[in-house]
Amino acid sequence: MLHCISLPPGQFGGPFIEQLFCNCLDPREHEYFAEICHLKVSAHFLVRRDGELIQFVPAHKRAWHAGQSLFNNRSNVNDFSIGIELEGIDDCPFEDAQYDTLVQLTDTLMLAYPEIKKPNVVAHSDIAPGRKTDPGDHFDWERYLRQLS
């Protein structure tokens, strides 16, 4: 499942996304962090703007990225999904390096987990409509899916 995130909102770079996913975000660093520092969230992977790939949770383990969710009539999507965060925001294009890394990662995951097929690669907005909008309208699904093996 694809997501996007930036911390503080709308800003790229810095250590804050990693700190959030490692449960060590300092609420004194930014006023927004006081609102979210109590959250216990994680993703399996983060793809930075420059294409750097960071793994937080082994792909075969549960991460806490989907929240209240439903996919193919199954709830608790965290129980059976892999969460990939793209550093970005809904209303900003993603970088070529991010697409390159995301395609390589997805191809690798599809080889390791044959049940993952293109139709099963979805957005956070697909499994939590009305609650989530990411990765947003600027994510080029056609480009991404065309490049997958």
Point out which residues pair with 84 in neighbouring strands: 2, 45
SS (H, E, C) the chain: CEEEECCCCCCCCCCHHHHHHCCCCCCCCCCCHHHHCCCCCCCCEEECCCCCEEECCCCCCCCCCCCCCEECCEECHHHHCCCEEEECCCCCCCCHHHHHHHHHHHHHHHHHCCCCCHHHCCEHHHHCCCCCCCCCCCCCHHHHHHHCC
pLDDT of residue 105: 98
The confidence score (pLDDT) of residue 18 equals: 98
| pLDDT for residue 112 | 98
pLDDT at 33 (0 to 100)? 98
pLDDT given at position 135: 98
CATH no., domain 2-147: 3.40.80.10
Q: Is 0.95 topped by the overall pTM? A: yes
pLDDT in tens, the chain (149 residues): 999 999 999 999 999 999 999 999 999 999 999 999 999 999 999 999 999 999 999 999 999 999 999 999 999 999 999 999 999 999 999 999 999 999 999 999 999 999 999 999 999 999 999 999 999 999 999 999 999 99
Structural domain spans, the chain: 2-147
Write the single-letter amino acid at 67.
G
- Give the active site residues: 85
